[in-house]
Amino acid sequence: MIISLPASLGIGEKLSKILGLEHANTDYRIFPDGESYIKFTVSVKGKDVILIQTTYPNQDKRLIELLLAIDAAVFYGANSVSAIVPYMAYARQDRVFIEGEAVSIRTILRSLRSVGLDRIYVVDIHKENSLKYFNGAAYNIDPTPFFAKVLRNVISEPMVIAPDLGAERKAELLATLLNTEFVVIKKHRDKRTGEVRHELPETLDVRNKDAVIVDDIISTGGTVAKIAKYLKNLNARKVLVVASHGLFVGDALEKLKSSGVDRVYVLKTVDINISSEFVSILDPTELIAGRIRETFSSK
């Protein structure tokens, strides 16, 4: 049974049709003081329950709602509890950069497990290795083959660019699927100030090529804008961007446009509305359904 939580992005209903499963929404309220209230509208007793909730925006609130629902599903006798989290917040704080820091994603994944989550599905978590903090079945859904399919129809002579080492594996796979080369740009971050410096190669032959920047997330747009400017200066024919999660914080869209990006492709994994020709927002439901089919088994 699929249960859509308040930030399910409409994926739950579509997924239930694709997989032929029962679907229900939850009753959801916010008390005057800001606290969330969740109530199941159907019985989950004896069911393998799959909850759907993304966690942006508001990360903290959406995570609390997810915790409430997992705990309630266990309390009301679900046979197993799984969660599909299209965007997993806090994933970028995946280690100690400065002594004393909390490893946020470890806290989040341990908390989800501790209230009774058996299985978690996440779309393109920042580092797949973080899923080791979830002491249950954990699946990362990699959208790279899906992006490759979309891009094949709109590019010619591509070159794939990873804006940092973290995106190397993604760039390598995308380049293989597009039958082309890839380049990794090294990025250095000052741990204290957070300031970022890229080691941009002096020469890179992107003339008359479609450059494709691939990353997991666009937040402020700063990383991609920097690389896009560089590629335009080297006379790339087009600069396209594929990123799983488009948060587009503040003036990110303007920043990307003015840096020379021609088009951005993201998945609908976060709860924001953008209506701009400049951004293609792709539905991840089929991608998620495929992974559920491959991996799901009752407890």
Instruction: Please report how close the Cβ of residue 64 comes to ligand R5P at its closest, in angstroms.
Output: 24
| Residue where the block lists tokens 């089919």 | 293
- Assess 142 for contact with ligand R5P (CB under 6 A): no
Q: Quick one: 116 or 222, whose CB is closer to ligand R5P?
A: 222
- Assess 65 for contact with ligand R5P (CB under 6 A): no
- 187 counts as catalytic: yes
CA pair distance 26, 49, nearest whole angstrom: 13
Instruction: Name the token pair of 37.
Output: 């209230």
Instruction: Please report how close the Cβ of residue 280 comes to ligand R5P at its closest, in angstroms.
Output: 18
DSSP at 140: E
Candidates 24-32, 205-213, 218-226, 262-270; binding stretch for ligand R5P (CB under 6 A) = 218-226
CA pair distance 227, 164, nearest whole angstrom: 10
Report helix, strand or coil for 237: coil
CA pair distance 203, 190, nearest whole angstrom: 25
CA pair distance 71, 220, nearest whole angstrom: 34
Tell me the number of residues near ligand R5P by CB under 6 A.
13
Alpha-carbon 84 to chain mean position: 11
Q: Quick one: 136 or 166, whose CB is closer to ligand R5P?
A: 166
Q: Quick one: 57 or 222, whose CB is closer to ligand R5P?
A: 222
- Assess 163 for contact with ligand R5P (CB under 6 A): yes
Contact 180, 202 (CB under 8 A): no
Contacts of 119 (CB under 8 A, 6+ apart): 80, 81, 82, 83, 136, 137, 138, 139, 296
Given 57, 116, 166, 260, the residue binding ligand R5P (CB under 6 A): 166
DSSP at 88: -
∠177-283-40 over CA atoms, to 5°?
A: 135
Given 2, 174, 218, 227, the residue binding ligand R5P (CB under 6 A): 218
Residues, the chain, total?
299
DSSP at 236: B
Cα–Cα distance list, 77 to 3, 26, 136, 288 (Å): 15, 17, 19, 26
- Assess 215 for contact with ligand R5P (CB under 6 A): yes
Q: Which of 14, 47, 170, 187 is catalytic?
A: 187
**Interface positions, 84-113, toward ligand R5P (CB under 6 A):** 92
| Strands, E assignment, 118-209 | 119-123, 137-141, 158-162, 182-184, 186-189, 196-199
Given 65, 94, 164, 262, the residue binding ligand R5P (CB under 6 A): 164
- Assess 136 for contact with ligand R5P (CB under 6 A): no
Q: Quick one: 143 or 163, whose CB is closer to ligand R5P?
A: 163
Given 220, 234, 280, 290, the residue binding ligand R5P (CB under 6 A): 220
Given 221, 266, 267, 269, the residue binding ligand R5P (CB under 6 A): 221
- Assess 217 for contact with ligand R5P (CB under 6 A): yes
- Assess 219 for contact with ligand R5P (CB under 6 A): yes
Q: Quick one: 175 or 264, whose CB is closer to ligand R5P?
A: 264
Given 48, 94, 124, 216, the residue binding ligand R5P (CB under 6 A): 216
- Assess 270 for contact with ligand R5P (CB under 6 A): no
What amino acid positions are annotated as catalytic residues? 187
Which stretches of the chain bind ligand R5P, using CB under 6 A? 92, 163-164, 166, 215-223
